[in-house]
Amino acid sequence: MKKLNLVAFASGGGTNLQAIIDNIEAGKVNARIKAVISNNSKAFCLERARKHNIPAIHLSHKMFATPDEFDDKLLSVLKENEVDFVILAGYMKILSPRVIKAYKNKILNIHPGLLPHFGGKGMYGIHVHEAVLKSGMKVSGVTVHLVDEIYDHGPIVLQKCVPVEDHDTPESLAQRVLKVEHQLYSEAIQLFAEDKIEIRDNKAHFKR
Ligand code: GRF
């Protein structure tokens, strides 16, 4: 089994990042996180990385004259680290088509809802849970998917349902969903480490 080299991108608190770090340390995920990149120098995810001796890199578009120069830097960090998979864990920026093309089917994202519903532009964080409650759906869930050029659109790797309860607020639903996120992301990464997934017809299939 190959130990996967990961680079994680995050913008916020990084509880998903933490869960992946913990699962790697517990031997449940056969991977190493080579670096954590954040567009926000003050984001707690960078602190989490440092605590685990993972290089914490602040990289923002604002530091570069053009979007292309930003991409040059980003791609060079990924190349230097011989990255197998890029892990988006609450990264609030969109990767350019150039980066997505360079790492086709090698970028994973987690979404706090059941795609292809409740996704797309503006559908992030609490907005997802608000929309789910508004719809009257009795289940929500978590999606781990590969990233393509269209927002929240690439091949779905794993999904898990989470019940919506009668008294739920967006915040209480978010908490229940987040707990499942913390398991499911690691499970998805481990499937790739075990080489159990193949992409055919733009869909992720379990290998037989
Ligand atoms: C998660 O809900 C994830 O689904 C979404 O952003 C949130 C990040 O949370 N993409 P955290 O920073 O991992 O705590």
pLDDT of residue 135: 98
What integer is the mean pLDDT of 36-46? 98
| For residue 1, pLDDT beyond 90 | no
Instruction: Please name the amino acid found at residue 130.
Output: E
Output the CA 16–ligand 1 centroid distance in Å.
Answer: 6
What integer is the mean pLDDT of 74-85? 98
pLDDT tens for residues 177-189? Answer: 999 999 999 999 9
List, in sequence order, every residue forming a beta bridge with 65; answer none if it has no partner.
Answer: none
pLDDT of residue 165: 98
pTM: 0.97
pLDDT of residue 183: 98
pLDDT band, residue 208 (cuts 50/70/90):
confident
Output the CA 208–ligand 1 centroid distance in Å.
Answer: 32
What integer is the mean pLDDT of 121-147? 97
Return the residue whose CA atom lies nearest to atom 12 of ligand 1: 14
| For residue 13, pLDDT beyond 90 | yes
What integer is the mean pLDDT of 114-118? 98
117 DSSP assignment: T
111's CB contacts (< 8 A; 6+ apart) are: 119, 128, 142, 143, 144, 145, 152
- Closest atom, ligand 1, to C-alpha of 16: 13
Does 110 contact ligand 1 (Cβ within 6 A)?
Answer: yes
Catalytic-residue membership of 61: no
The SS3 of residue 63 is helix
- Closest atom, ligand 1, to C-alpha of 10: 12
pLDDT of residue 29: 98
CA quadruple 133, 135, 139, 140: dihedral positive or negative?
A: negative
Residue 75's Cβ-count burial label (10 Å; 0-12, 13-18, 19+) is middle
| For residue 136, pLDDT beyond 90 | yes
pLDDT of residue 150: 94
> Which spans in the chain are helix H?
15-25, 44-51, 67-80, 97-102, 126-135, 170-193
Average pLDDT, rounded, for the chain: 97
Output the CA 126–ligand 1 centroid distance in Å.
Answer: 10
Residue 82's region, left for phi above 0, alpha for psi from -120 to 50, else beta, is: left
77's CB contacts (< 8 A; 6+ apart) are: 7, 35, 37, 57, 59
Does 181 contact ligand 1 (Cβ within 6 A)?
Answer: yes
pLDDT of residue 2: 84
The rounded distance, in Å, linking the Cα atoms of 48 and 127 is 26
Does 113 contact ligand 1 (Cβ within 6 A)?
Answer: no
> Which spans in 85-125 are helix H?
97-102
- Closest atom, ligand 1, to C-alpha of 112: 4
The domains located in the chain, with CATH, are 4-197 (3.40.50.170)
Return the residue whose CA atom lies nearest to atom 6 of ligand 1: 90
Catalytic residue among 52, 58, 111, 205: 111
pLDDT of residue 66: 98
